[in-house]
Structure 1
Amino acid sequence: MSDLPYMQERWFEVLKTACAERGVTTVAAELGFSNHTGTSRVLSGRYGNTERFAARVLARLDTVNCPHTGANEARALCHAQFAAEPPTHNPYRLAHWHACRRCAHRPEIES
């Protein structure tokens, strides 16, 4: 396997873990590909520009189980919920916002 810079990024680790757990063909289908060729090429370092592929991996595979809703949510949406202003107009969304403040999945606050 080549040691390309993208192989050190978070999305690549998420992809490798998912493929190890569920198989390349299953993960390719979850990403919306009809076959596993593209995913295999990314894993082996023989894929061109990986920017769009990385975005798809993060959107579809990098999920957390939300303790408040009980659903798997994309980590990016989870972080956006955490960073948002409190939604004072809706009691359920406000409760969700408060739950994000106590959640183990919350992003680290940078100093």
Structure 2
Amino acid sequence: MSGNRRPRVTLDPADRDRAMALLVREIAATSVAAVARRLGTYGRVTVSMVAAGTYAGRPDAPLARVLEVFDADTVDCPHLGRPLARPDCRTHAGRAMPTGSPAAFRHWEACQSCPHRGDAS
């Protein structure tokens, strides 16, 4: 497998419908370009085509990313500048102070006063 290939993602129909509803809601609230920026891995054209139902391939991978970013099971991490799954947020916030990595320490330190710290429990 080449370095640029993503593993194949398969969503069940309920998750696909939920992701599509989230995508359409976020586009209506902001814009296609803003949603694409938040998704990070998919461009404006891909986001537009998935939302319109004209995406040439299976939309499961982009829709899985929509769930990662916009589903209620994530928080917007101010330290990382991107959405983070609640379990990962709990792990970062609740672990012992890291001493072997300055980056890990900065992340842990940011978690200690993060407004999402209570949201992640």
TM-score by length of 1: 0.51
Picking from 80, 85, 107, the partner of 2:88 is 80
Please, what is the CA RMSD of the aligned residues? 4.0
Aligned identity (percent) is 24
Q: What is the distance in 2 between the residues matched to 1:15 and 1:87?
A: 37
Q: How does 1:1-111 map to 2 (within 5 A)?
A: 5=13, 6-7=16-17, 9=18, 11-31=19-39, 32-33=42-43, 35-36=44-45, 38-47=46-55, 48-61=57-70, 64-66=75-77, 72-76=81-85, 78-83=86-91, 86-89=95-98, 93=108, 96=111, 103=118, 105-106=119-120
Q: What is the distance in 2 between the residues matched to 1:95 and 1:29?
A: 24
Aligned length: 96
Secondary structure of the residue aligned to 1:75 is strand
Cα offset, 1:21, TM superposition: 1.3
TM-score by length of 2: 0.48
For the 8 Å contact 1:100–1:106, the answer to whether it is kept is no
List alignment gaps of at least 5 residues for structure 1: none
